[in-house]
Structure 1
Amino acid sequence: MSDPNTAPTVVERLTVRVPPGTAWAAVSDVRRMGEWSPECRGAWLLGRGGGIGGGIRPGTRFLGRNRASWLPWVTLCRVVEAVPGERFAFDVSFFGIPLSRWVYRFTAVPDGCEVTEEWHDRRRSLHGRLITATAPLLTGVVRRPARNRTTARATLVALRDALEAGR
């Protein structure tokens, strides 16, 4: 499922020498994202929507912990798609204002799987544009699409290196 309201602003893909289910399990454990991402430091699961023993599923909510420069911030995230070994997607908001949708796709290839990471910019409302204008003061990120392209590529490379090393 991609965001029906926006085409992806950023798309990065990389082949990882593990089965799609292995890559999906790592990415969908959002608490681990800080192991790979240069900006996301991890996540806290909210309620009983997923995690250890329960599995992550649509509706699972979590707080994304982020830091790009000196000031950390959190976003509220909600899983919108969780198809083991195939797709994982979540929406990101800040004080109820839609910011983005992140989509991960896992496609089997002869040596493992291709992992595709997409960022859909959802800052279309007046409030979203206001956040876009003020976010550089809080996050230190001036050009969000360019930053997300760089961090998506770095995340996929770190994910590949960790999974291929058996971590």
Structure 2
Amino acid sequence: MARRRTVSDSVLVAAPPSAVYALVSDPTRTPEYSPENRGARTDHTGSLPVGAVFTGSNERRGFRWITECVVTAADPDQRFAFRVRAIGGARRRVRAGIAGWEHLLEPAVLPDGTPGTRVTQTWTDERTMPDPVARLFDAVATRGPFADFQRRNLATSLQRLRAVVEADVEA
């Protein structure tokens, strides 16, 4: 059976798209809502432009790794996306297709009638390894199919993202 390569989830946020974009387009703020990200480094401040490179520090169940990412879309108040193009330790990284991440922002009306934003976060598996090898890796790294693991991560990430953005707007 072929592995699922794309997972998406959405949340309604009581804030304008500009407030959401300010958060998701600045990787140094990702630890505020991501279950795995512990920090990011970049030569830029604030929202990153297309082509900008950043490194992310990540942790899962005591395992730590670094990713090298490049911004692939930076449409203010609409869409921010990046690709993970390398993964590994501080000195050695495997350069290969790893994953793509996207935040799509759409103006929306909340259930109470106030304006807000629908945030859709999408993860795409860009690994080129054969499915049997991926299943073995996934069983060790995430205790099951990676897509199932990412579905849970996206749900957690989006709930935290909503809380951070709404707190920022209230402040």
Superposed pair shares fold, TM > 0.5: yes
Q: What amino acid is aligned across from residue 63 of structure 2 in structure 1?
A: L
Cα shift readout 1:115-156 (whole Å, capped 9, x = no counterpart): 000011111246x9867744665xx42332111111111111
Work out the CA distance in 1 between the residues paired with 2:98 and 2:166.
Answer: 32
Conserved 8 A contact 1:8-1:118: no
SS at match of 2:142: coil
Work out the CA distance in 1 between the residues paired with 2:128 and 2:118.
Answer: 30
Gaps of 5+ in 2: 88-93, 110-114
- For 2:151, the equivalent position in structure 1 comes to 149
1:51 to 37, 45, 58: 45
- For 1:103, the equivalent position in structure 2 comes to 102
Conserved 8 A contact 2:11-2:118: yes
Q: What TM-score results when the alignment is normalised by the length of structure 1?
A: 0.82
Conserved 8 A contact 1:123-1:129: no
Gaps of 5+ in 1: 1-6
Work out the CA distance in 1 between the residues paired with 2:120 and 2:69.
Answer: 19
Work out the CA distance in 2 between the residues paired with 1:27 and 1:99.
Answer: 20
Structure 1 residue 38 corresponds to structure 2 residue 32? no
| Alpha-carbon shift at residue 42 of structure 1 (Å) | 2.2
Alpha-carbon spacing, 1:155–1:26, altered in 2? closer, same or farther (3 Å): same
| Alpha-carbon shift at residue 36 of structure 1 (Å) | 0.6
How many residues end up aligned between the 2 structures? 153
- For 2:90, the equivalent position in structure 1 comes to none
- For 2:77, the equivalent position in structure 1 comes to 85
| Alpha-carbon shift at residue 72 of structure 1 (Å) | 0.8
Alpha-carbon spacing, 1:136–1:73, altered in 2? closer, same or farther (3 Å): farther
Structure 1 residue 120 corresponds to structure 2 residue 124? yes
Q: What TM-score results when the alignment is normalised by the length of structure 2?
A: 0.80
Q: What amino acid is aligned across from residue 108 of structure 2 in structure 1?
A: V
SS at match of 1:96: strand
SS at match of 2:73: strand
Q: What amino acid is aligned across from residue 75 of structure 1 in structure 2?
A: T
Work out the CA distance in 2 between the residues paired with 1:129 and 1:78.
Answer: 28
